[in-house]
Amino acid sequence: MTIQWLGHACFAITHRGYTVLIDPYNADYTNGYPKLRLKADRLLISHEHFGHNYREGVQLSGRPESDCPFEISTLRVPHEFKLGNWRGFCDIHILEADGCKLVHMADLGTQLDGGQISRLYGADVCMICAGSATALPSQEAKRATDEIMAKVIIPMHYRDGNRGGHRLEMVKDFAYHFESPEFIHYYDTDTFEVTPDMEPQVAVLKYLGPEAWGALLQAPENRARAGLLARLLGRK
């Protein structure tokens, strides 16, 4: 099972040859990221904000949901401290397969209550916003990962050089709240392999861009052929 970070809050999760894509961003509203043109077997959207709902950038394979190796459930949470009265709500996605639980926390904006903690408790991997601003402050995001006892924490939705909104914090601001520096692992890849014996850690993945997306990329359009076909179809 692999988790590939495609930038912002977007991930491709692949298991048994089946790929679930979560929260594709609209590059017109997400600073510094390229336009998405991706392929996947299933698409999950946490909420209807431009940084998370770019359905137009994803081509689905058409495979039946029965092929999906994951059991997928959702948990609705407020986007902000005003309990959804300002930014609305978003869905945390929980993906479970072969005894492994992955949690994509969306733009969680409030602390979790007891029932929510119970649903998420024991997550093997937790993908959580580390940039504050439109979600929990980084210190509170760290607290949420403590409460659900997440084994591996993958930060997302933060400012990375010229990528991400200027109001977002950088990942180092999130990492600062962990007492042990050796707990923070900085990777030179955008992909994390989920295994039964993986080490507890904060896994900071490196954004590599479309050059690393391989089979996830849609085939480029053959513009010359498309233009010729259009002219032929336009003839009487």
Laid out side by side, the sheet with 10-15 consists of 42-44, 18-22, 10-15, 2-7, 191-193
In words, the CATH class of domain 2-234 is alpha beta
In the predicted model, is pLDDT for residue 93 greater than 60? Answer: yes
3-state secondary structure of 56: helix
In the predicted model, is pLDDT for residue 34 greater than 70? Answer: yes
In the predicted model, is pLDDT for residue 144 greater than 50? Answer: yes
User: Positive or negative, the Cα torsion across 110, 113, 119, 120?
Assistant: positive
Pairing type for strands 125-129 and 100-104 reads parallel
In the predicted model, is pLDDT for residue 82 greater than 50? Answer: yes
State mean pLDDT over 18-34: 93
